[in-house]
DNA sequence: GCCCGCCCGTTACATGGTGTTACAAAGAGA
DNA sequence: TCTCTTTGTAACACCATGTAACGGGCGGGC
């Protein structure tokens, strides 16, 4: 892939300059924009790989802009905001943002998330899936990606940790496909928009799978869903129904 | 596919109305029915894509109705019931229900299952997208490739290792055909999505066959199914019935 | 700031699957 | 029947994986 072209939509001049400089220093092309009109111009004049969008743009609402962009383009969007309540986060995701980051943010964290989103969209066909507000059903279980709620066939809500959720999501995106441990790690890095989890060591995935099994398998000793492929990795061995909301 | 037409068989008026309204809101055509007579009328008057069938219908037994329908039509059936014990579930499946859901149920979950069943039946209609989701029957045994379950004639589930399963699958795909050890190794490499098992050494297949025999032959000393072709290899010497799901 | 609890990776050990080896048993041919 | 070859079987060893226990790190509450 060529150098990523990132559109920085931010009305505060200082902030905008800071961001563009930072992005350029990190090997990307940063295109400054202040509002919806600018965005359109940039779209007309060339490829855009990602949009960094401030939620509060004086007059205009970032949320609305995000929603508009989404209707026309399939470009990844990261929302940036001083507001970080779940409420805000929700409305960001609900209009199709791929990630959401709160001000003030650590610059390196931002870079990591940008990388994650770019990687994700590059391979969205294979390992990963867009983070949409889908809900999944599998073997009587249901998982709502929006609320991260996991419901057992008996109707109980099961509490999974973040990492376990990310693992589950990775499997749900690749049912019936044997995944190597490396692929799973990649999947986790993409699903969680956390700073690149180096995670080089060996058995961590095994542990994680074990812990997920203990929570979602009826009989963890004889797993029905999270099956081991000896010498390969793991497979999610049940059908998954995805319901877009 | 056109809009799915779903027959809702439920004697409780409130429940029936609730269900039909919900289904209609989700893009399906819901046809209300209260008993077996209604069902027949609907079958005569048009296409039915799926039946949602309450187990407890006052006088009539849903199980019986299900069984009757199955004898005449090949329509998918989802049983709905307040009883969710495994006992009940079993008798539901044993008369041919495609799924079983317990009251009270989450409406979205129900919708997801409906979608799953409809997708499944659509898939089986088109020859192209057939995965190896077949189930096999041979000499009283059954093997479900989807769940990898092997059931003995007596009804016991037999646990086979991955390699043994792959071997069984290889034989099931080539009944009555003598296979050399090399051909079997190839078959295993195809069946298992494992890294090319070089498997150069000699006797491994013999061992594998031996182990499979010890699990599926009544008298492993005098094998009836996995017969040895001296100087050649092995044959799977019973008829196999393949049932696509 | 301190303490507590949770997440999660690490480590060490247990378990189990699978190929190898060795030897016994069964066939085939002389 | 004797002998050679092929196959069956049990014991073993190796390695991938399962699992329990530990501990560092981090965030929340006081």
B5-125 and B134-244 share one fold: no
Interface test with B, best of A155, A174, A238 (most B CBs within 10 A): A155
Q: Which of A54-68, A88-102, B223-237 has the highest mean pLDDT?
A: B223-237
B112: closest CA of chain A, how far (Å): 7
Tell me which CATH homologous superfamily contains domain B5-125. Answer: Response regulator (3.40.50.2300)
What is the Cα–Cα distance from A160 to A144, expressed in whole angstroms?
12
Name the DSSP letter for residue B116.
Answer: H
What ipTM does this complex have? 0.52
What is the Cα–Cα distance from A10 to A12, expressed in whole angstroms?
6
DSSP per-residue codes, chain A? --PPEEEEE-S-HHHHHHHHHHHHHTT-EEEEE-SHHHHHHHHHHS---EEEEESEETTEEHHHHHHHHHHH----EEEEES--SHHHHHHHHHTT-SEEEESS--HHHHHHHHHHHHHHHHTTTTT-----SEEEEETTEEEETTTTEEE-TTS-EE---HHHHHHHHHHHHSTT--EEHHHHHHHHHHHS-SS-----SSTHHHHHHHHHHHHH-SSTTS-SSEEEETTTEEEE-S--EEEE-
What is the Cα–Cα distance from B96 to B90, expressed in whole angstroms?
10
**Contacting residues of B for A229, CB less than 8 Å apart:** 162, 192-194
Q: Which of A151, A232, A243 sits opposite B195 (nearest CB)?
A: A232
Domain B134-244 belongs to what topology?
Arc Repressor Mutant, subunit A (1.10.10)
What is the Cα–Cα distance from A174 to A235, expressed in whole angstroms?
8
Number of H helices, E strands in chain B: 8, 15
Flag whether pLDDT at A128 surpasses 60.
no
Tens-digit pLDDT profile for residues A66-117: 777 776 776 778 877 765 454 444 454 445 566 666 666 666 657 766 766 6
**Contacting residues of B for A230, CB less than 8 Å apart:** 162, 194
Mean of pLDDT over chain B: 74
Contact between A183 and A233 under an 8 Å Cβ cutoff? The reply is yes
Which residues have CB under 8 Å from B98's CB, separation 6+? B76, B77, B78, B117, B120, B121
Nearest nucleic acid nucleotide to A210, CA to C1' distance: D18
CB contact under 8 A, A137 and B112: yes
Looking at residue A200, its pLDDT comes to 52
Token digits of residue B92: 């539901």
Lowest mean pLDDT among A160-164, B59-63, B234-238: B59-63
What is the Cα–Cα distance from B192 to B183, expressed in whole angstroms?
14
A162-173 and A204-216 helices, crossing angle to 10°: 90
What is A5-122's CATH number? 3.40.50.2300
Contact between A119 and A49 under an 8 Å Cβ cutoff? The reply is no
Contact between A24 and A59 under an 8 Å Cβ cutoff? The reply is no
Nearest nucleic acid nucleotide to A206, CA to C1' distance: D17
> Where do the structural domains in chain A lie, given as residue ranges?
5-122, 134-244
Which chain C positions have some atom within 7 A of a protein CB? 6-12, 16-22, 27-28
Quick one: which H or E segment has residue B23? Answer: helix B13-25
Q: What is the mean pLDDT of the segment spanning A16-21? A: 78
What is the Cα–Cα distance from A134 to A96, expressed in whole angstroms?
12
Under the banding of pLDDT at 50, 70 and 90, the label for residue B131 is: very low
CB contact under 8 A, B193 and A224: no
Q: What is the mean pLDDT of the segment spanning A177-189? A: 80
Could you give the maximum distance between any two Cα atoms of chain A, in Å?
59
Give the residue numbers in B contacting A (CB under 8 Å), as ranges.
106, 108-109, 111-113, 115-116, 119, 131, 147-148, 159, 162, 192-195
């Amino acid at each position: 892939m060529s150098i990523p072209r990132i559109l920085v939509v931010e009305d505060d001049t200082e902030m905008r300059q800071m961001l563009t400089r930072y992005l350029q220093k990190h090997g990307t092309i940063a295109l400054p924009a202040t509002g919806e009109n600018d965005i359109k111009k940039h779209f007309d004049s060339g490829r855009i790989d990602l949009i960094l969008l401030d939620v509060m743009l004086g007059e205009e609402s970032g949320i609305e802009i995000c929603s508009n962009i989404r209707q026309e383009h399939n470009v990844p969007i990261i929302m940036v905001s001083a507001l970080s309540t779940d409420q805000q986060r929700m409305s960001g995701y609900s209009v199709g943002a791929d990630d959401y980051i709160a001000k003030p943010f650590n610059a390196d964290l931002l870079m990591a998330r940008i990388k994650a989103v770019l990687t994700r969209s590059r391979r969205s066909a294979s390992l990963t899936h867009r983070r949409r507000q889908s809900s999944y059903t599998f073997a009587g279980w249901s998982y709502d990606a929006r609320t991260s709620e996991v419901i057992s066939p008996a109707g109980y809500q099961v509490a999974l940790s973040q990492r376990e959720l990310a693992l589950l999501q990775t499997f749900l995106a690749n049912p019936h496909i044997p995944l190597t441990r490396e692929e799973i790690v990649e999947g986790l890095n993409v699903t969680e928009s956390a700073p690149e989890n180096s995670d080089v060591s060996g058995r961590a995935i095994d542990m994680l799978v074990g812990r997920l099994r203990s929570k979602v398998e009826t009989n963890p000793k004889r797993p029905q869903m999270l099956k081991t492929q000896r010498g390969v990795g793991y497979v999610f061995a049940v059908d998954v129904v995805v319901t877009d909301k």
